Amino acid sequence: MKTLLDVKDLSVSFGVYGGEVQAVRGISFAVTEGEAVAIVGESGSGKSVTAQAIMRLLAVPPGKIRGGSITFAGQDLLALPEKEMQKVRGRQIGMIFQDPMTSLNPTMTVGAQIMEGLVRHRRMSRAAAKKRAIELLATVGIPHAESRISQYPHHFSGGMRQRAMIAIALACSPALLIADEPTTALDVTIQAQILRLMKELQRQTRSSIILITHDLGIVADLCDRVIVMYAGQIVETGTKREIFRNPQHPYTKGLLRSLPRLNQAKDEPLVPIYGTPPDLIMPPPGCPFCSRCEEAMQICETDVPAFTRLSETQSVRCWLQHPQARPEECGGKGASA
Amino acid sequence: MSEPLIEVGGLRKFFHVGRNRVLKAVQDISFTIAKGETLGLVGESGCGKSTAGRTMIRLYEPTAGSVAFDGTDVTKLPKSKFKAYRRKMQMIFQDPYASLNPRLTVLDIVGEALDIHGLAGSRAERKRRVERLLEAVGLNAEHASRYPHEFSGGQRQRIGITRALAVEPAFVVCDEPISALDVSIQAQIVNLLIELQKKMGLTYLFVAHDLSMVKYMSDRVAVMYLGKIVELARSEDLYADPRHPYTQALLSAIPVPDPDLEARKERMILKGELPSPIHPPSGCPFRTRCPAATVRCSEEEPVLREVRPGHRASCHYA
């Protein structure tokens, strides 16, 4: 399969009063054609910043790309002049933002916002673009699309705005769709509608998806592969099955364990991850998860672990995978090498 | 279960929203909560679940109906008499960022609750008490002199819990206490709530939209739709055998963090969206989205009736 997006050693930081927040610290991953990849992690782990860096939507300053490269369909996005980048945005990479209440333009009709990309990128006539916009609105499941198209975002409910945003993102049939928490602001029954819609559209158009979420349930539903981020780094990647069935990083394991199983009795306490993520102005020198990790060893405090390849598809960044991680050093667990 | 601590009867909360329009946020809900029990209250945004919780402890004055605490109807009490009950009925809020006064130290945030109910005694005792409480929720005594912005979301929620529990309540309305927190922190707070419940014999109303967490926390669960309770059952029964089509749709809509279960799952996807609570549909409020609706549903409103012992649902066909 062909690689569509290749992110190499990307680092992003933000200048703030008191220093520089190192939001993304040297991450590398690739997305192949037709693949749905999930990036999971908690707030502040750098997942949205990664998406904004790919789209070149970071506010600079305070944001700054410290290093690395982003190659999309053979072109280096970080080297493109802004004018060229505008041709990529919307046309080759579409984006669905988290909050449909604030990310649509309140002074433009929904139709105009869908048509904008078609007219600009596809050089369609206004009449043709309007016809296509009506089709798109109908595809994403908005009834009475012909009359809805001339309404403003405030006439739409939250679920309908999110559908409209999907219509905008899909207007030019982008090869890659980045969805940043696309359903977090929505109720579960509406979320189910939107997820089914995204799944169907992906199947029809064979586009690639990067789905950013903190909801592991959505990942299990929609994605092929999972990237787990913590404190600005990738700590584990694998296929959906590998991550859910055989997680190897203590953070991934902790995340899965902290959710109640559907048959969990009330007198059986949940297993939380204690503590809080580190401060990224002064990230710890070793493994960022070490202060919350029950299996942490001495080396975890001082040295960042390298990736260990567990299979063709699964890699984990943890010292427990090192051949020298003997059981007596880590409380009898994690002796696999 | 033991005798009821809270008895809600025909509780209503209407809001006037201008031009003679009335938003019926809560319409004639009735249920009881036993001492030491957790009742989960679930539903989508706008269904009235938070309003119901707030009205029960008179943060909103009810439009009609009664809320009895240990046999006394607190809705009719004058403010002066109600104060003693306010102490017994507390609330933990959803947003740990908005619900703590940023200009007060933790000592004063929690101490204020003690002051209002005259529980503090001397300044030294007040401080001692706050410190003890902070330690009980997993914070340190030294945290008392700090301000809310110095804490993370999970820690702030612990402060909110401390404030609610400082006055030794019997009943606590937990209004989405974990939905603003990260997954890894949610379990910490849920464990704390359960631990405190056991230790202090608390009774909870747990309002939430995360159905798997509600199932884990609650003994019984009530499902609300457009201001009404559409189903109420023991939590195992509700999840194993939901009778109302809305509950069935809600349960099937939750994505489960398990790829095999997800692949096998038959998902029941509802059409459309929540109707406006200002102009609710005739008959059954759910009929506009219900896959099984018939003519009868638009003509006759179903009542919440027992479909089997301890399991009530308001559907003609349940």
Q: What is the 3-state secondary structure (H, E, C) of chain B?
A: CCCEEEEEEEEEEEEECCCCCEEEEEEEEEEEEECCCEEEEECCCCCCHHHHHHHHCCCCCCCEEEEEECCEEHHHCCHHHHHHHHHHEEEECCCCCCCCCCCCCHHHHHHHHHHHCCCCCCHHHHHHHHHHHHHHCCCCHHHHHCCHHHCCHHHHHHHHHHHHHHCCCCEEEEECCCCCCCHHHHHHHHHHHHHHHHHHCCEEEEEECCHHHHHHHCCEEEEEECCEEEEEEEHHHHHHCCCCHHHHHHHHHCCCCCHHHHHHCCCCCCCCCCCCCCCCCCCCCCCCCCCCCCHHHHHCCCCCEEEECCEEECCCCC
Q: Could you tell me if residue A157 is inside a domain?
A: yes
Q: What is the largest CA-CA distance in chain A?
A: 73
Helix/strand/coil for A195: helix
Query: Would residue A177 count as lying in a domain?
Result: yes
Contacting residues for A135 by C-beta, under 8 A, at least 6 apart: A145
Asked whether the beta carbons of residue A255 and residue B184 sit closer than 8 angstroms, the reply is yes
What local confidence, expressed as pLDDT, does residue B1 receive? 53
Per the structure, the count of domains in chain A is 2
Instruction: Give the C-alpha separation, B104 to B100, whole Å.
Output: 8
User: Does A228 reside within a domain?
Assistant: no
pLDDT band at A275 (very low <50, low <70, confident <90, very high): confident
Q: Which residues pair with A20 in a beta bridge?
A: A15
CB contact under 8 A, B269 and A217: no
Q: Do A123 and A95 belong to one domain?
A: yes
* Mean per-residue pLDDT, B238-244: 93
Assess whether A83 and A216 both reside in one domain. Answer: yes
* β B72-73/B64-69 pair status: antiparallel
Query: Coil, strand, or helix at residue A47?
Result: helix
Rounded to whole angstroms, how far apart are CA atoms A182 and A192? 11
What per-residue confidence (pLDDT) applies to B235?
92
Nearest to A136 by CA among A107, A105, A104, A167: A167
Q: Which of A215, A220, A273 minimises the CB distance to B258?
A: A220
The pLDDT mean for chain B works out to 91
Of A236, A274, A246, A237, nearest in space to A258 by CA: A274
Ranges A85-89, A99-103, A149-153: which has the least confidence: A99-103
Strand B64-69 and strand B4-16: the pairing is antiparallel
The residue from A201, A223, A245 where one domain ends is A223
- At B182, the pLDDT band (50, 70, 90 cuts) reads confident
User: Residue A120: which CATH number?
Assistant: 3.40.50.300
What is the CB neighbour count within 10 angstroms for residue A150?
A: 12
Say what the pLDDT of residue A328 is: 54
The mean pLDDT value for B7-33 works out to 92
Mean pLDDT of A328-333: 49
Q: Which residues of B touch A254 (CB under 8 A)?
A: 184
Note the pLDDT of residue B114: 92
Q: What is the pLDDT of residue A217?
A: 85
- The residue length of chain A stands at 337
One domain, residues A146 and A197: yes
Mean pLDDT of A184-202: 81
Taking phi first (over 0 means left), then psi (-120 to 50 degrees means alpha), and beta for anything else, what does residue B309 get? Answer: beta
Do B257 and A220 make contact, defined as CB atoms within 8 angstroms? yes
Residue A95 and residue A238 share a domain: no
What integer pLDDT is reported at residue A335 of this predicted model? 39
Query: Are A215 and B213 within 8 A, CB to CB?
Result: no
Residue B46 pairs in a beta bridge with none
Residue B131 within any structural domain of the chain: no
* Residues near B162 by beta carbon (within 8 Å), at least 6 away in sequence: B106, B110, B130, B133, B134, B136, B137, B139
* Any A CB within 8 A of B187 CB: yes
| Candidate from A217, A255, A256 with C-beta closest to B254 | A217
pLDDT tens readout for residues B76-88: 999 899 999 999 9
Query: Which residue among A219, A256, A269 places its CB closest to the CB of B191?
Result: A269
What pLDDT was estimated at residue B263? 79
User: Residue B191 phi/psi, 5° resolution?
Assistant: -60, -40
> Does one domain contain both A115 and A244?
no
% of chain B beyond a pLDDT of 90:
68
Instruction: List CB contacts (< 8 A) between A190 and chain B.
Output: 44, 273
Question: A214 to chain B, minimum CA–CA distance in Å?
Answer: 8
CA–CA gap between residue A90 and residue A94 (Å, rounded): 5
Q: Are A164 and A295 in a shared domain?
A: no
d(CA B293, CA A5): 47
Please judge whether B269 and A220 are an interchain contact, meaning their C-beta atoms are less than 8 angstroms apart.
no
- Residue B8: band (very low, low, confident or very high) from pLDDT cuts 50, 70, 90: very high
Structure confidence at residue A332 (pLDDT)? 43
Chain B positions in Cβ-Cβ contact with residue A196 (cut-off 8 Å): 267, 269
E strand or H helix at A147: helix A145-148
Mean per-residue pLDDT, A1-21: 91
**A215 and A255 both lie in a single domain:** no
Range of the domain at B187: 4-103+147-313
The residue that leads in pLDDT, B209 or B135, is: B135
Residues A240, A138 share a domain? no
Contact between A115 and A126 (Cβ < 8 Å): yes
Q: Using the predicted structure, report yes or no on whether residue A267 has a pLDDT greater than 80.
A: no
pLDDT digits (tens, 9 = 90+) for A29-44: 999 998 999 999 888 8
Contact B239 A191 (CB under 8 A): no
A335 within a domain of the structure (yes/no): no
Q: Looking at the domain assignment, is residue B260 inside a domain?
A: yes
**Which pLDDT belongs to residue A333?**
45
Average pLDDT over residues B288-297: 92
Residue A337, domain member (yes or no): no
Boundary of a domain, candidates A223, A251, A286: A223
Phi, psi dihedrals of residue B55, rounded to the nearest 5°: -70, -35
Residue that is last in its domain, among A164, A194, A223: A223
Residue A276 and residue A218 share a domain: no
pLDDT the model gives residue B253: 86
Instruction: Give yes or no for residue B95 having a pLDDT over 90.
Output: no
Which of B50, B139, B157, B182 best tests the A interface by mutation, with the highest count of A CBs <10 A? B182
For residue A170, give its domain range: 3-223
Chain A positions in Cβ-Cβ contact with residue B239 (cut-off 8 Å): 262
pLDDT of residue A160 exceeding 90: no
CA distance B218 to chain A (A): 8
Indicate whether B185 pLDDT > 90: no
Structure confidence by residue, pLDDT tens digits, B194-210: 999 999 999 999 998 88
Which of A192, A261, A204, A159 has its CA nearest to residue B267? A192
Q: Can you give the pLDDT at residue A334?
A: 42
More confident residue, B95 or A28: A28
Place A327 in a pLDDT band, splitting at 50, 70 and 90: low
Q: Kindly state whether B199 is in contact with chain A, defined as any CB-CB distance less than 8 angstroms.
A: no
pLDDT by residue (tens digit) across B49-93?
999 999 999 999 999 999 999 999 999 999 899 999 999 999 999
Chain B residue with CA closest to A230: the answer is B184
A59 touches B: beta carbon within 8 Å? no
How far is it, in rounded angstroms, from Cα B85 to Cα B106?
24
**How confident is the model at residue B115, as a pLDDT?**
92
Is residue B186 less than 8 Å (CB to CB) from chain A? yes
Question: B157 — alpha (psi -120 to 50), left (phi > 0) or beta?
Answer: alpha
Q: Is residue A134 part of a domain?
A: yes
- Report the pLDDT value the prediction gives residue A326, as an integer from 0 to 100: 60
| Structure tokens that stand for B230 in this block | 């559409």
Chain B environment of A273 (Cβ under 8 Å):
184-185, 187-188
Q: Do A106 and A239 belong to one domain?
A: no
Are A212 and A255 part of one and the same domain? no
Give the pLDDT mean for A130-147: 87
**CA dist A49 → A9, A77, A93, B23, B129 (Å):** 14, 15, 16, 40, 43
State the pLDDT confidence band at A225, using cuts at 50, 70 and 90.
Answer: very high
CATH number at residue B194: 3.40.50.300
- Mutation target to probe the A interface, by most A beta carbons within 10 A, among B183, B236, B237, B290 is B183
Taking CA atoms, A125 is separated from A149, A170, A173, B255, in Å, by 17, 18, 17, 42
* Residue carrying structure tokens 């008392």: B144
Binary contact (B216, A260; C-beta < 8 A): yes
Nearest residue in B to A245, CA atom = B258
Residue A155 contacts B where some CB pair is shorter than 8 Å: no
- B105 interfaces chain A, CB cutoff of 8 Å: no
**Residue B64: how many other CB atoms lie within 10 Å:** 14
pLDDT at A99: 78
More confident residue, A193 or A308: A308
Work out the pLDDT band at B111, boundaries 50, 70, 90.
very high
Q: Is the pLDDT of residue A25 over 80?
A: yes
Sorted by sequence, the CB contacts under 8 Å of residue A113 that are 6+ apart come out as A104, A105, A164, A168
Check if B1 contacts A (Cβ < 8 Å). no
Residues 6+ apart with CB under 8 A from B224: B29, B41, B42, B43, B47, B48, B49, B52, B230
Which pLDDT band, with edges at 50, 70 and 90, does A336 fall under?
very low
Is A11 in the same domain as A105?
yes
CA distance B104 to chain A (A): 24
Query: What does the pLDDT read at residue B39?
Result: 97
